[in-house]
Structure 1
Amino acid sequence: MLEFKQNIRGNVALGVNPIGCKQEVLNQVNYVKSNGTFDGPKKVLIIGASSSYGLATRISLAFGTGADTIGVSFEKGPKSARSLGTPGWYNNIAFREAAEKEGLVAKNFVADAFSHETKQDVIDYIKNEFGGKVDLVVYSLASGRRNDPDTGEAYVSSIKAIGEPVVGPNIEMQTQNYYTQTLETATEEEIANTVKVMGGEDWQLWMEALKEADVLADGVLTTNYSYLGSELNRPYYGGGTLGQAKADCDVKAETINDLLADVNGKAQVIVATAVTTKASSVIPFFPVYCIGLYKVMEEKGTHETPIMHIDRILRDMVYGDKAEYDEMGRMRPDSWELDSDTQAKTKALIEKINAENFNTDLTAYDLFVKEFSNLSGFDVDGYVEEEVTLEDLKALEY
């Protein structure tokens, strides 16, 4: 029988609990169901669907609006007792099983979303087995590396400052170490490579391919989840290489809007709030911001996990009547995070955090760690241990 152990190296999770991943997916399904149904899309393509915002979007729309979904993600399945695969592999399977029990279509493509071949495979499936058209395309892909689909050249992103180095506190969860980190400045090449990987180019390529193939429904909506943050994290996020990539998504949204004009379509950048993801744990300084912010927002009753945040976005804003926009036309559900009182209290709390108290009740460190653990199927509410063999996992139908 397999024994599932959480393994963290620095702030990167290496272990996985497949049974816990399934329970976490079911917990999210039950959360959406508890909120009732709402009117929304029925045929949805989600690029980057196996975790965090992409998975939450898929769950919210399937169990909130009864949508059939296609999910594209690059994940790894089980090979041995020491190599059980990635959480997203099991998330995809758990979602498909839950959706099919409701009579919904839940197609998983495990492939390189950046490639022309994957785009064509998805298009062929839409034409031949998915009704021919999609009415929502969600781009929620997170990757640190991308191969150009035309040249094959590999690009790697960098999380760095621009202009001047940034010095500040960070946390290593593996050792529970609070330390001072210096974030070096990026070169022009590193900035360009980060935009190439994490900007809006692939989003635009997907929409061009889908449009050319005539698989977009009239009135189609395509969304891209972004993050801007506040003045508290601007030096290393909005003002750094990550911010340049996010700005490129704004530019590409305008291009995509022009592309979709003759099908009455729209491209919408959605600026989401700070949540616990695999990415947020490794962004320099960001964990300290989170444990301060979460504490304040938890006390205010405004803290959200990805499923809570995405379900509110879709239910109340995208397909509801409570949408908020900024001067650039971006949807702004991050207004709870950016509330002036919330930011002031977060700033004051962060200034009190040090090596002696960062993991005490002063902060939301325990909450951050729990949410981080949940991403890999550990410390999941409602989890019941099961005896599972490697053969059981390999036999799962993808």
Structure 2
Amino acid sequence: MLIKPKFRDFICVTAHPEGCKKNVDMQIEYIKENKVSSKFKRILIIGASTGYGLSSRIVSTFGWGASTIGVIFDRQGTDSKTGTAGWYNTAAFEKSAIKDKHYAKTINGDAFSNKIKEKTIELIKKDLKKVDLVIYSIASPRRKHPITGEVSYSVLKPIGEPFKNKSVDFHTFEVFDTEIGPATKDEIQQTINVMGGEDWSIWIDQLLKADVLEQGACTIAYSYIGPEITYPIYRSGTIGVAKEDLENSSLDINLKLKQIGGNAYISVNKALVTQSSSAIPVVPLYISLLDKVMKEKGLDEDATKQIHRLFSQFDEGKMNIDSSGRIRIDDREMREDVQKEIKKLWQEVTTDNVEKITNINVFREDFFKLFGFGYDDVDYEKETCAKVEIFNLL
């Protein structure tokens, strides 16, 4: 089939397998040229097919030589419909991992369910016996509770008062004022149910109970704080409350892991172009400014470089820990000079100058590349098979 980008609102509903492979191969090549050492050799990555989860798997495998089990929730392509980008990313990752003789197996299903947790534990016992690092990198719009069966949906809304600020349509480059009404108490709680720390805690509880965590095992969950510009819609909004719940859960998880000499960490990472960030008002404009300012200062990092730096610091024991015990790998984004310049440009940006004073073009290009589109050496006018196999899929 001929595969082109198709959209529903801000959501891209198609993905190109060859383009996704190109994206993954580029990340792998960078890590092969910039290897890091680590004591972690058997790793479970929950949410392993895109973003920081995918980068964690790539760095672990090709940087450390680690054995990895990845949990994903993606769709395979058919004769008439493309698979998800995460499916194609995982297929490309496993192909390279197997070629280089690395252990890599993937479980596809709802990570929130007990069924997938049990299946994962069975695989660990069978193949790895135990794991020494658990990465939790889940971003989902909904969650079905494994005990009650209740389905919760996450929302992106401010809390208390309506939110008004600038935003941008990254397809038309129109800068406009946006307004979003505040979330209800039920919407806040549902967002916490989906994006908070309960599921992370359940995973660790079940892994401990099954005795598949190695002595000294650690776990890391990824979070985001961001600048004052995005606070009302993000950190002070529904997603931010859920992230606070995730971060608070790390304290309880840390106590549980102490019994085996382990630790739980929260890593606060930098803002990235993702499917989710593209749909959050204000954020595309902020990331477009952030990208421009950080590149001008020689500070920019993509997901893979960010995780490479995180894991390098982790191995060297030189992590940047804040007063709340969180690893601050967003330190370059939050530098005073970076944020000062962004605030200045934020006041100036309009539809007329957005292409000049921001990197909105780069944001749009990076968004398309998430789905395998926009690579010069991929022929998008060529018929492509959308049915791609993941070799070690369970």
Shorter-chain TM band? over 0.9
- For residue 325 of structure 2, give the secondary structure of its aligned residue in structure 1: coil
8 Å CA contact 2:15–2:372 kept in 1: the answer is: yes
Distance 2:23 2:93 in 1: 10
After superposition, give the CA deviation of every residue in 1:288-340 in whole Å (9 maximum; x if it has no partner). Answer: 1111111100100111111111111112x222243101111100011101100
Give 1:168-247 correspondences, 5 Å limit.
168-247=165-244
Q: Which residue of 369, 372, 393 corresponds with 2:387?
A: 393
Aligned to 1:55: 54
Aligned to 1:76: 75
Quick one: which amino acid aligns to residue 101 of structure 1? K
Quick one: which amino acid aligns to residue 7 of structure 1? K
> Percent identity among equivalent residues?
39
Q: 1:329 to 1:168 in 2, by over 3 A?
A: same
Q: 1:216 to 1:388 in 2, by over 3 A?
A: farther
Distance 1:395 1:195 in 2: 35
Q: Which residue of 290, 303, 306 corresponds with 2:303?
A: 306
Distance 1:381 1:330 in 2: 39
Distance 2:137 2:110 in 1: 14
8 Å CA contact 1:17–1:87 kept in 2: the answer is: yes
| Alpha-carbon offset, residue 379 of structure 1 | 1.5
Q: Gaps (5+ residues) in structure 1?
A: none
8 Å CA contact 2:88–2:388 kept in 1: the answer is: no
Q: Which residue of 352, 369, 372 corresponds with 1:377?
A: 372
Give 1:109-124 correspondences, 5 Å limit.
109-124=107-122
Q: Which residue of 232, 246, 262 corresponds with 1:249?
A: 246
Give 1:1-398 correspondences, 5 Å limit.
2-81=1-80, 83-130=81-128, 132-315=129-312, 317-358=313-354, 360-380=355-375, 382-383=377-378, 387-390=382-385, 393-394=387-388, 397=391, 398=393
Distance 2:217 2:348 in 1: 48
Moved more, 379-388 or 163-172: 379-388
8 Å CA contact 2:91–2:389 kept in 1: the answer is: no
RMSD of aligned Cα (Å): 1.6
Moved more, 70-79 or 34-43: 34-43
Aligned positions, number: 392
Q: TM-score, normalised by structure 1?
A: 0.95
Distance 1:96 1:103 in 2: 10
- For residue 107 of structure 1, give the secondary structure of its aligned residue in structure 2: strand
Moved more, 84-93 or 306-315: 306-315
Q: Gaps (5+ residues) in structure 2?
A: none
Distance 2:244 2:86 in 1: 28
After superposition, give the CA deviation of every residue in 1:123-149 in whole Å (9 maximum; x if it has no partner). Answer: 00000122x100000000110100000
8 Å CA contact 2:299–2:332 kept in 1: the answer is: yes
Moved more, 16-25 or 179-188: 179-188
Runs of 4+ in 1 over 6 A off after TM superposition: none
Q: 1:162 to 1:179 in 2, by over 3 A?
A: same
Quick one: which amino acid aligns to residue 139 of structure 2? A
Distance 2:41 2:215 in 1: 13
Distance 2:20 2:287 in 1: 23
Q: 1:395 to 1:212 in 2, by over 3 A?
A: closer
8 Å CA contact 1:73–1:110 kept in 2: the answer is: yes
8 Å CA contact 2:170–2:284 kept in 1: the answer is: no
Quick one: which amino acid aligns to residue 269 of structure 1? I
- For residue 333 of structure 2, give the secondary structure of its aligned residue in structure 1: helix
8 Å CA contact 1:143–1:197 kept in 2: the answer is: yes
Quick one: which amino acid aligns to residue 364 of structure 1? N
Distance 2:87 2:286 in 1: 30
Moved more, 174-183 or 204-213: 174-183
- For residue 209 of structure 1, give the secondary structure of its aligned residue in structure 2: helix
Distance 1:394 1:65 in 2: 27
8 Å CA contact 2:35–2:64 kept in 1: the answer is: no
Quick one: which amino acid aligns to residue 66 of structure 1? G
Distance 2:38 2:381 in 1: 37
Distance 2:151 2:324 in 1: 32
Distance 1:394 1:66 in 2: 25
Distance 2:378 2:285 in 1: 28
Moved more, 6-15 or 324-333: 6-15
Distance 1:264 1:354 in 2: 54
Distance 1:86 1:267 in 2: 31
Distance 2:390 2:37 in 1: 32
